[in-house]
């Protein structure tokens, strides 16, 4: 794969969202290569904008538009495995965009097979994370496919250049948030916002920009309790109602939205080493993360739980860096999924004004034993036995003191 293609493609499948970058990319690709172009739109739950994107692709000159409903696959085969790992990038980010890109690229390759294309393209910038996530996936699944990255080929070097190009070519843009469009990505898990005024990390988001969850001042006065049911580490129902994988995310999204759950304003470290300011709204992901950990706390062996905590940052970094189809991620997933065999049960959460509080949990496989945990009189644990454990495990400190190496 190369950003400078010496062989002209005959048929390109472009991952298309309808935003500024992919709209300009579609027109530029048609101008540059004069070949057949299929616009591929992946439905990961972004909502009404799908129809708008499809009409836009046709208007901009796509020879064919393919829309794939990937919501169930996204939830079941991508989001849920990631949440079984309790994955957080840099301790905060739930990676709603990171986990979406491998699926889009994999589905894009399915379209390649269906239409007989010989090339794929994406609108990710040459300095961002998404180009890596797309192209790592493409390399893992179809290393021989021609990949065209317009941002690494054209002479447009900034968003201002793209806006000027769009004006010259009559490309309509959504300017509902201001004179210049922000970079916004939505799916069942989250909405992300970056660019424009958000590039100043000192300044709060402009009024009215964030639309997914309610501002705290607008949330309801009374708290709400929600119960999430898990089967082998996967959420399978909410408030006693069995639900499909995508319906779980949709239901939790609506519940979390009205309580202002999941808004996060962070400066994160991109793959190339630069820092970027992003705002995320992830109501469903936030609820799942808390609920899954609550059920795990009852079930996992203590040493397994500790090891899983140690593996999580590595697993999260792999997902963030686009290595979903890499063998090391799959190896870790196997270990994580082994730990999930008995993670079945319910977590009860209380939601109020942006906060999530675990107030109860239960599991038929619970290892919690009141006989051991109680502070009252019991006969299963002889407290005098602790003396031997402590004496053995403090040998190194007493030996150091004897040798004169201990420091105060």
Q: What are the angstrom distances between the C-alpha of 274 and each of 118, 127, 270?
A: 34, 9, 5
> Is 183 a residue of the active site?
yes
User: Which candidate in 21, 185, 186, 339 is catalytic?
Assistant: 21
Query: Parallel, antiparallel, or unpaired for β 119-121 and 11-15?
Result: parallel
Q: Provide the phi-psi class of 307: left if phi over 0, else alpha when psi is between -120 and 50, else beta.
A: alpha
DSSP state string for 242-284:
E--HHHHHHHHHHHHHHTTTTEEEEEEE-TTS-EEEEEEE-HH
401 assigned ligand-binding residue: no
366 assigned ligand-binding residue: no
20 assigned ligand-binding residue: yes
> Is 101 a residue of the active site?
yes
Adjacent-strand bridge partners of 230: 235, 345
183 assigned ligand-binding residue: yes
280 assigned ligand-binding residue: yes
Q: Provide the phi-psi class of 277: left if phi over 0, else alpha when psi is between -120 and 50, else beta.
A: beta
User: Which candidate in 71, 84, 97, 130 is catalytic?
Assistant: 130
118 assigned ligand-binding residue: no
144 assigned ligand-binding residue: no
Beta-strand ranges (E) seen in 319-401 are: 345-352, 355-362
98 assigned ligand-binding residue: yes
Q: What are the angstrom distances between the C-alpha of 100 and each of 287, 308, 313?
A: 19, 23, 19
130 assigned ligand-binding residue: yes
> Is 130 a residue of the active site?
yes
22 assigned ligand-binding residue: yes
Q: Using an 8 Å Cβ cutoff, are 226 and 255 in contact? A: yes
Q: How many CB atoms lie within 10 A of CB 43?
A: 17
123 assigned ligand-binding residue: yes
Contacts of 54 (CB under 8 A, 6+ apart): 39, 41, 65, 67
User: Which candidate in 159, 174, 180, 183 is catalytic?
Assistant: 183
Q: C-alpha angle 185/50/108, rounded to 5°?
A: 75
93 assigned ligand-binding residue: yes
User: Which candidate in 84, 101, 212, 329 is catalytic?
Assistant: 101
23 assigned ligand-binding residue: yes
166 assigned ligand-binding residue: no
182 assigned ligand-binding residue: no
Contacts of 101 (CB under 8 A, 6+ apart): 130, 133, 134, 137, 322
List, by residue number, the catalytic residues. 21, 101, 130, 183
Binding-site annotation, residues for ATP:
15-23, 42, 123
Going by the annotation, the residues of the binding site for L-citrulline are 93, 98, 129, 133, 183, 192, 268, 280
Annotated binding site: 15-23, 42, 93, 98, 123, 125, 129-130, 133, 183, 192, 268, 280
Residue positions forming the annotated binding site for L-aspartate: 125, 129-130
């Amino acid at each position: 794969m190369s950003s400078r293609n010496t062989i002209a493609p005959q048929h390109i499948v472009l991952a298309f969202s309808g935003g500024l970058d992919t709209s300009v990319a579609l027109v530029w690709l048609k101008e540059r290569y004069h070949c057949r172009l299929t616009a591929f739109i992946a439905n990961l739950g972004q909502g009404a904008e799908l129809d708008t994107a499809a009409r836009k692709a046709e208007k901009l000159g796509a020879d064919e538009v393919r829309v794939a409903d990937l919501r169930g696959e996204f939830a079941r085969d991508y989001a849920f495995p990631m949440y079984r790992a309790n994955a957080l990038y840099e301790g905060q980010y739930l990676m709603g965009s990171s986990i979406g890109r491998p699926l889009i690229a994999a589905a894009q390759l399915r379209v390649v097979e269906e239409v007989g294309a010989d090339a794929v393209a994406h609108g990710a910038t040459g300095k961002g994370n998404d180009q890596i996530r797309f192209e790592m996936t493409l390399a893992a699944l179809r290393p021989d496919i021609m990949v065209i990255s317009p941002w690494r080929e054209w002479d447009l070097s900034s968003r201002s250049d793209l806006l000027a190009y769009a004006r010259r070519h009559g490309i309509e843009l959504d300017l509902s948030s201001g004179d210049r469009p922000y970079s916004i990505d939505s799916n069942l898990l989250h909405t992300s916002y970056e660019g424009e005024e958000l590039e100043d990390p000192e300044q709060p988001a402009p009024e009215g920009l964030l639309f997914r969850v309610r501002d705290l001042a607008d949330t309801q006065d009374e708290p709400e309790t929600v119960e999430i049911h898990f089967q082998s580490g996967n959420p399978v129902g909410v408030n006693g109602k069995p639900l499909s994988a995508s319906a779980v995310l949709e239901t939790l999204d609506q519940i979390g939205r009205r309580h202002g759950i999941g808004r996060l304003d962070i400066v994160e470290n991109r793959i190339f080493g630069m820092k970027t300011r992003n705002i995320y709204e992830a109501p469903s992901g936030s609820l799942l993360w808390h609920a899954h950990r609550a059920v795990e706390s009852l079930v996992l062996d203590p040493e397994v739980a500790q090891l899983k905590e140690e593996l999580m940052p590595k697993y999260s970094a792999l997902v963030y860096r686009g290595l979903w189809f890499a063998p090391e991620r799959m190896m870790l997933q196997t270990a994580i999924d082994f730990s999930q065999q008995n993670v079945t049960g319910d977590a009860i959460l209380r939601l109020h004004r942006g906060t999530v509080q675990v107030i109860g949990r239960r599991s038929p496989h619970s290892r919690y034993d009141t006989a051991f945990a109680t502070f009252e009189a019991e006969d299963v644990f002889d407290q005098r036995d602790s003396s031997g454990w402590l004496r053995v495990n403090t040998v190194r400190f007493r030996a150091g003191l004897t040798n004169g190496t201990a420091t105060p």
